[in-house]
Amino acid sequence: MQVVLVRHAIAHERNRTRWPDDSLRPLTPEGVRKFRKAASGLATLLPKSAVILASPWVRARDTATLLASAMKGAKPIECTELSGNAAIYEAFDLVRSRKEADVVLVGHEPNLGRFLAAALGGDSARLKIEFKKGGAACVEFGKRPAPGTATLTWMLPPRVLRSLG
């Protein structure tokens, strides 16, 4: 199974007055513009059959929608397991529950970095991996996705993804 991790695009800064609930914080116009181009590049790397699973938080959901548009594919599926406050084992459970060969997870930091570290190094991995906003990474799992069983295929910052588009 191929799993692609995508961090949401550039969002507005936290502001408890404008967005008392951080899950409602949206992308900035610049974030939309830049990720639309990055999504075009990312789409060239993804199989057309890939399923897109996204955090229900506005900024991740909107990032996933931009990616789906670039892929000319189905709508993203919202998954609470990818919320900004979810534990990484929930994301592993989610990936294991899928039957598709190619899965895209659109979510948040530090969760994506922790998921990638655990996927590569196991549950107790102390790797510090940080995703740029709008960046992506791809890992390959064998038969059953589990911590410590992945191989990193690629990891690209958004500026490289934009150059592919």
User: Using an 8 Å Cβ cutoff, are 3 and 95 in contact?
Assistant: yes
- Domain with 52 in it: what CATH number? 3.40.50.1240
SS3 101: coil
**Residue 133 is assigned to a structural domain of this protein:** yes
What total of structural domains would you count in the chain?
1
Token pair for residue 100?
Answer: 């598709």
Query: With 90 as the cut, is the pLDDT of residue 5 above it?
Result: yes
Region 67-74: what's the mean pLDDT? 92
pTM given for the model: 0.96
Other CB atoms within 10 Å distance of the CB of residue 101 = 11
Q: What is the DSSP string of 126-149?
A: -----PPTT-EEEEE--SS--TT-
Residue 126 banded pLDDT, cuts 50, 70, 90: confident
**Residue 158 is assigned to a structural domain of this protein:** yes
Token pair for residue 9?
Answer: 């695009």
**Residue 17 is assigned to a structural domain of this protein:** no
**Residue 148 is assigned to a structural domain of this protein:** yes
Query: With 80 as the cut, is the pLDDT of residue 74 above it?
Result: no
Residues spanned by the domain of 152: 2-12+22-164
Region 16-20: what's the mean pLDDT? 94
**Residue 115 is assigned to a structural domain of this protein:** yes
**Residue 70 is assigned to a structural domain of this protein:** yes
Q: What pLDDT score was predicted for residue 106?
A: 98
